Structure 1
Amino acid sequence: MNFCQHFMPSARFEAKLANEDMFRNPGLPRSLFEAEGAARREVDQSDLDIGDLVLINTEGLTIEHILPQETSFGVRLYGFHSTESYLEHLHLIGNLAPLEKRINSACSNCSAEKKMSEPKLYRNSQFNLIKALAAGGANCSPAFSKNALVERSQELASFAVKRWPLTPTDLAEA
């Protein structure tokens, strides 16, 4: 606890989670699965059990980029002032989500709009985080933007800090 207080207070931890590249971070799947559990509990669904997790891992779990890694579209329409700005946001936690390998392969570098509207893509996932994205983007243009990405990054980072508090004041609130 002393180490965390000195080197990584919760506020810094939250800022790093929200604003830094998280794509290859080994803690990312754990954080996203914890958020998935919270999303399931919000709609009175049970958490994924060990059998579900084994099946997911057997079939292949991937980390999906909501806004695609390849920019084959005008990034300004999504709220980015340049391709460089887009690339700076690409691997933030708010642009990442757990997704079944078969669905991620079908998504390829599709637009967020297609991923959210096609019945065999996000809407076919067993992950509530993905289904909620699809539902939230259904009537939006664009379906997912820089603002949505930044807001989702902050929400997920805040969730992680509340779930795994690093400082005594955070422990009292948890």
Structure 2
Amino acid sequence: MIFKTPTKHFFVFGTSEGYTMLNAFDGALLDAGIGNTNLVKMSSIVPPHCKLVDHIKLPQGSLVPVAYASICQAEPGVTLSAAVAAAYPEDESQAGLIMEYSAPARKDIVEKHVRAMAEKGLERRNLKIKEIRSIAVQTIVESIGAAFAAVVLWD
């Protein structure tokens, strides 16, 4: 089997209510625009020279590497948030780092935390930070809710 290094990446997020927690998670994937793909959860590295692009329509059923945060809960009234952040090094020949975080909290709190995680991760690699990008999403559970945020990598 030949493994390809992704050359593009993009951020997505979604929320949903569902019949079960799995249905809520599936609905959040559909809301994010990647629900008809097979997600391959990966560790959180942006390959060197991997270009940030706008959302790409992925072929249905494709295997899609993704770093994601998700949270599902069946407690009405609870605020759920998911966020991802990517830290890019000044030296573009080095890999970037993606961090994921979700919690029953407001999205500003969750996004601030995941950005700090990304910053600390790149610092641990002794790389100077060029930029940190992040997204976060929040929902208030009505019955069974889910929040999802991801960085999708593609070739």
Which has the larger strand fraction?
A: 2
Q: Same fold (TM over 0.5)?
A: no
TM-score w.r.t. structure 1 length?
0.27
TM-score w.r.t. structure 2 length?
0.29
Q: Which structure would you say has the larger Rg?
A: 1
